[in-house]
Amino acid sequence: MEPLKKAKKFKGPQGPVVLVILDGVGIGTCAEGDVVSRANTPTLDWLAQNALAAKLKAHGTAVGMPSDADMGNSEIGHNAIGCGRVFAQGARLVNESIESRALFEGDVWKELIENVGQHDSRLHFIGLFSDGNVHSHIDHLEDMLAEAKNQGVKKACVHILLDGRDVPPTSALEYVDRLENFLSALKAGSDIDFAIASGGGRMQITMDRYQANWGMVERGWKTHVLGEGRTFSSARKAIETLRRENPDVIDQDLPPFVIAQDKADNAPLGPIEENDSIIFFNFRGDRAIEISMAFEQAKFDKFSRGPKLNVKYAGMMQYDGDALIPQKYLVNPPGIDRTVGEYLVKAGVRQLAISETQKFGHVTYFFNGNRSGKFDASLEDYVEVPSDMVPFEQRPWMKAAEITDKVVEAISGGEYRFIRLNYANGDMVGHTGITQAVEIAVETVDLCLARLVRAVKKAKGILVVSADHGNADDMYECNYKTGEVVYDEKTGKPKSRTAHSLNPVFAYVYAPGGSIKMKLSNHKDLSISSLAATCLTLLGFEPPEDYTPSIVEISA
């Protein structure tokens, strides 16, 4: 890659350029559900008046999703921010691979199918069970089940991870009924045995990330692989029973369950056994890595797996290209290169990346184009602040203060020219659907942001504040044509929304004291991918020509 060129008229500020990503804090369009606007945010209000301000797209085709009906997410958001361009992302890549049949004609798919045919064994599918299109899509699952039948697979099991996070919070039965009807039609007139075998909420089993809670993965292993746990006659029966026992629970928090094949002995319908094939059908990587490690690693010490099974395992994509996790995958991930971090290392710029555990991989792995590790350890420091192991709504301030302490120290220390950080509060608390907690989360971040403004001002740096997508700005189901909230017929209260929004996000660029003459660029309809060129411009470099243009121009 060609090195960055230094700008002719501007060498960068005296202090650091600090990029603050307010995860899940967007610009609401439905007033009643917009907790960001409802919250007390004097710092954001002040920036709106005293900084250069722009709106950026953070969803749909502007960040590499298949259509503008698709919400953005933290993975592709940080990809876009970090690499400064828009790459076709997981959902679109899988769609194209299925439509072209490249997935089914690939060596990995053929190997999995041949394995179950040779051993008369089962083909298993594990993954997030919804059409949220953030980690997975039920369409992909159904396409693979149909193709498996066409290629002679007789036995298949589906292990469903209930969503309620990227889709409405209690929508699981809609997807269960859809899949059961699909399987019934698939089995009509044939002798195949395809069925749902186990399940549970995505925040209870299997889908941990950043090795924050291996107990989740262990519970998933016992549920899917060993068939251990509370048994039910069907997935619908399991969900209805668990909801009746705890009426306040939402899908993502439902306990694990196992489907029994026989009422008499409660034997599990579909545990994973010797010579089976397994597909983890999530295309997004962060919550797929640990379960992949459990299936693949010969030496594994995170929990007791029981006897190592001789199985064929594949992910929908390769979730970590550096660590080669998993070894086998169905669709090639986006080939992201020439990220901001790599360019700055080549230019000798010292950098700090920091967040708490919940988003640590986003300011490192995803920001660096799905790359593990550092480009140059002598020029990069990555700081992870361990997240608390409590429900987010019970501690909505999370680790924002601790992150701020370290960033304020780094700003004043003068060691770094570029600092990037993520406050996870707006997104992680937003996913709970509890608006009181979300309001506290937003106000917490605003309070911390005030400290960063003061520190940047003192150091004569530049502050860039934006987000990767919306969430806290859209906490109620809304009729977007009329702007009216949708109410629950039973409770009379607004229907809670836990998914990301389709709203734009703000971008504030603040240079204290007006010492740097800059203005908004003339480019229209920019997305969050423009933040990369913006930061390079503010650091005194000319962004690469193929980067999305900067939102600011330096005039002197």
Q: Other C-beta atoms within 10 Å of 105: how many?
A: 10
Q: Distance between CA atoms of 101 and 396, rounded to whole angstroms?
A: 45
Torsional class of 525: left (φ above 0), alpha (ψ -120 to 50), beta (otherwise): left
Looking at the chain, how many residues does it have? Answer: 556
Cα–Cα distances in angstroms (integers) from residue 386 to residues 58, 118, 468, in the given order:
27, 46, 21
Neighbour-count burial of 202, counting CB atoms closer than 10 A to its CB (0-12 exposed, 13-18 middle, 19+ buried)? buried
Reduced to 3 states, what is the DSSP secondary structure of residue 108?
helix
Please give the torsion angle defined by the CA atoms of residues 141, 142, 144 and 149, in that order, rounded to the nearest 10 degrees.
140
Bridge partner residues of 52 (DSSP): 509
- The predicted pLDDT at position 319 comes to 87
Query: Which residues, in sequence order, are CB contacts of 5 under 8 Å at separation 6+?
Result: 541, 542
Dist. CA 204–CA 225, nearest whole Å: 16
Q: What separation in angstroms does the CA of 178 have from each of 99, 171, 175, 184, 449?
A: 21, 11, 5, 10, 45
Q: What is the DSSP letter of 364?
A: I
Cβ-based burial of 514 (10 A; exposed 0-12, middle 13-18, buried ≥19): exposed
pTM > 0.85: no
If phi > 0 it is left, if psi is from -120 to 50 it is alpha, else beta; for residue 180 that is: alpha
Instruction: Report, as residue numbers or ranges, the catalytic residues.
Output: 74
Half-sphere exposure of 366 (CA within 13 A, CB side): 28
- The CA-atom distances, in angstroms, between 409 and each of 230, 398, 424, 460 are 50, 19, 20, 14
Distance between CA atoms of residues 21 and 16, nearest Å: 16
Angle of helix 42-50 versus helix 435-459 axis, rounded to 10: 50
Q: Minimal CA–CA distance to 20: which of 458, 519, 478, 355?
A: 355
Burial of 158 from C-beta contacts in 10 A (0-12 / 13-18 / 19+): buried
φ/ψ of 317, rounded to 5, equals -135, 170
Residue 462: DSSP 8-state: E
Of 199, 283, 279, the residue nearest 234 (C-alpha)? 199
Cis bond upstream, residue 326 (ω within 30): yes
Contact (CB, 8 A) for 101 and 387 = no
227: Cα separation from own chain's centroid: 28
pLDDT for 69 equals 87
Rounded distance between C-alpha atoms, residue 338 and residue 381, angstroms: 19
Task: Tell me, rounded to whole angstroms, the distance of Cα 261 from its chain centroid.
Answer: 35
Per-residue pLDDT of the chain (556 residues; tens, 9 = 90+): 899 999 998 999 999 999 999 999 999 988 889 999 999 999 999 999 999 999 999 999 999 988 898 888 898 999 999 999 999 888 999 999 999 999 999 999 999 999 999 999 999 999 999 999 999 999 999 999 999 999 999 999 999 999 999 999 999 999 999 999 999 999 999 999 999 999 999 999 999 998 889 999 999 999 999 999 999 999 999 999 999 999 999 999 999 999 998 766 789 999 999 999 999 999 998 899 999 999 999 999 999 999 889 999 999 999 887 778 999 999 988 889 999 999 999 999 999 999 999 999 999 999 999 988 999 999 999 999 999 989 999 999 999 999 999 999 999 999 999 999 999 999 999 999 999 999 999 999 999 999 999 999 999 999 999 999 999 999 998 887 777 888 888 888 898 888 899 999 999 999 997 768 899 999 988 999 999 999 999 999 999 999 999 999 998 6
Q: Which domains does the chain have, with CATH numbers?
A: 8-88+349-554 (3.40.720.10), 91-331 (3.40.1450.10)
Q: Output the pLDDT for position 264.
A: 62
Q: Count Cα atoms within 13 angstroms, Cβ side, for 370.
A: 25
Alpha carbon separation from 134 to 64, 66, 67, 105 (Å, rounded): 12, 11, 13, 25
In the numeric block, the tokens 């262990």 are attached to 218
Closest alpha carbon to 111 in 373, 327, 369: 327
The reported pLDDT for the residue numbered 556 is 61
The CA distances from residue 11 to 20, 309, 475, 536, 537, in Å, are 22, 58, 43, 11, 9
Residue 283 · residue 97 · CB < 8 Å: no
Residues 534 and 551: beta-carbon distance below 8 Å = yes
Q: Which among 162, 509, 107, 543 is positioned nearest to 331, based on CA atoms? A: 107
